[in-house]
Amino acid sequence: MAAKSSIHFDISERKVLLRILDIVCVLGLLYLVGQAFNFDYFKINSEHWMWSIVLATYLTVFATIFELYNLQKASRFESVVKNVILTSSLTVLIYLLTPFYTPTLPTNRLQIVYFFISMNVALLAWRYAYITLISTPRFFKRVLLVADSADIESIIASLQKSDPNYRVVGYFNTNISEEITINSLEIDAYSIKDIGLITEELSISEIVVGTPLSEGMTVELNNQLIYLLEKGIPIREYTQVYEELTYRIPVQHVEKDFYKYFPFSRSNQNKLYLFFNRIFDVLISLFGLSIGIILSPLILIGNLYGNRGPIFYSQKRVGKNGHIFNIYKLRSMIRNAEADGARFAEVHDVRVTKFGKFLRKSRLDEIPQFVNVIKGEMSLIGPRPERPIFVESLSKEIPFYEVRHLVKPGVTGWAQVNARYGSSQEDSLEKLQYDLYYIKHRSLFLDITIIIKTLSTIVFYRGQ
C-alpha cells in the first residue's frame, strides 16, 4: 500500500495551473458579462472562436513578460496587482490594434472599459485565491534529505531558496562517523530504522539523495530506500532536483560525474535548427540596428553631455571554440576605466557614467553587438562573451568553464536573464551553471523563453 502523502504542486504544475486558470477565468468572466449586460464587443461562441484564441495567446505572452508566472512574485499580492494591471493594459491595447483577428472597435467606447475591467477583476480574483488557498503550507512539498553532514546545510539552503514551497523537514546523515544537528534550519535528524516510520508521520512527498553511491550509501540504507520506493515515495538524486528547480547545472557538485551530461542538446548539431537560428539572428540584428539608427540622435546628445568622449568602444572577447574577436558596444564607462588593470564590472561601479547607467539599464549599450551577430562572431542567444584574461583565470578555478565555448556567445542568454552581474568568481560559477543548462537543453522553446525574459528585463529596466 502506498504511503500517505500530502497534496503538493511541483513548479511545472503550478505554472501550468496559473496559465490555464488565467485564461479560463478571463474568458469565463467575459462570457458572464456578455450574458448579463449589454456587452457585445467580445463574444464567446462557435462563430467567433478565433477571438478567444488570440486573446488567450496575447494574455499568456504578456503575462510571461510581466512575470506573472514567476512563482516567487506570484506568491506576493502586491507584486501581482502591479503586474496584472500591466499585463491587462498591454493585452487590451494590442488586442484592439489587431482587428483582423479580433473584433472591430465598438461604437460605444465604454465597451472597451468593460473589457479592460473584466480582465483585471478576473485575474486579480483568481490570483488572490491562488495566494490564499494554494501558495500556503498545506501545499508545500515535504522532503527527506539523505546526504553527508558536510553538505546537508548547503543543500537545504539551495533547495529552499530555489523554491519556497520545497521544504526539507528531516535528514539522514550518511557520514556515520560524524553526528550533527542542524538547529538553525529547524529540522530533525533520523536514523535508518526511523526512516520508514517518519515518511508516514510527516507525510513525506519525496526523498532526495545528495550522496554519491560510493560514499555512505550502505546496503542497509539502499534496502530501506527500495522499500520506501515500493511504497510509492519518489526518490531522486540531488543534482537532478537542483537542475529542475533552478534551471542550472550544479557543476560544482557533479565534478567527475559531469560527463554523464554529455552529449548536450541535439540542437547544437541540428543543421535545420542552426540554419533557422542564423536567419533569425540576421533578421533581428537588422531590426535592432534600425532601432539604433532611429535612436542615434538621442544617444549622441546623451553621450555629448553624459559621457564626454568616444561613443563606441571595442574589446577583445572569447567566442566559439576559443576564437578571439572584437566586440562592439556603446561606451558606458569613463575613459581609461582600466588604467589600473582589467577587473570585473561591479554593481554600482563608480566607473560607469550617468548616461552609461541609462544605456546599461535599458540595454541600449548592446545595440552595436548586432554587428558582431551579422558577422557570425556572435548569436542573438548564447553565453555572455568573456574577456581572454578572465577566461584564463576562471578556467583554472571553475571546473568545465571552457564548455561554454562550445556554442557562439550571445547578445542575451539564459545566464544573462537569470543570474546576477558577474563581478566575482561566485557569480561566474552561477552564470556557468545557467550557460551549461542552456547548452544542454538548447531548443526553440528555450530560445523563445529567453527572448521573453529579455523583454521583461528591458521593460522593468533591470539591465546591468
Q: Residue 448: is its pLDDT beyond 70?
A: yes
C-alpha 291, offset from chain centre:
26
Cα–Cα distance, 95 to 184 (Å, whole number): 51
Residue 320 is given by DSSP the state G
Interval 103-144: pLDDT, tens: 887 777 788 888 999 999 999 999 999 988 877 666 677 888
Q: List, in order, residues 6 or more apart from 196 with CB less than 8 Å away.
A: 224, 227, 228
Could you tell me if 141 and 168 are in contact, meaning their C-beta atoms sit under 8 angstroms apart?
Answer: no
Cell of 430: 552561477
Cell of 371: 554587428
Taking alpha carbons only, the member of 266, 256, 255 closest to residue 429 is: 255
Cα–Cα distance, 255 to 182 (Å, whole number): 26
Interval 342-399: pLDDT, tens: 666 666 666 788 888 888 888 888 999 999 999 999 999 999 999 998 898 888 888 7
Cα–Cα distance, 182 to 190 (Å, whole number): 12
Structure-model confidence comparison of residues 294 and 225, the more confident one? 294
The overall pTM is greater than 0.85: no
Could you tell me if 149 and 172 are in contact, meaning their C-beta atoms sit under 8 angstroms apart?
Answer: no
Q: List, in order, residues 6 or more apart from 450 with CB less than 8 Å away.
A: 381, 412, 413, 414, 417, 438
Structure-model confidence comparison of residues 152 and 322, the more confident one? 322
pLDDT for 429 equals: 85
pLDDT, the chain, mean? 82
CATH 3.40.50.11060 matches 140-246: yes
List the chain domain ranges.
11-134, 140-246, 266-459
| Burial (0-12, 13-18, 19+ Cβ within 10 Å), 451 | middle
Q: Residue 340: is its pLDDT beyond 90?
A: no
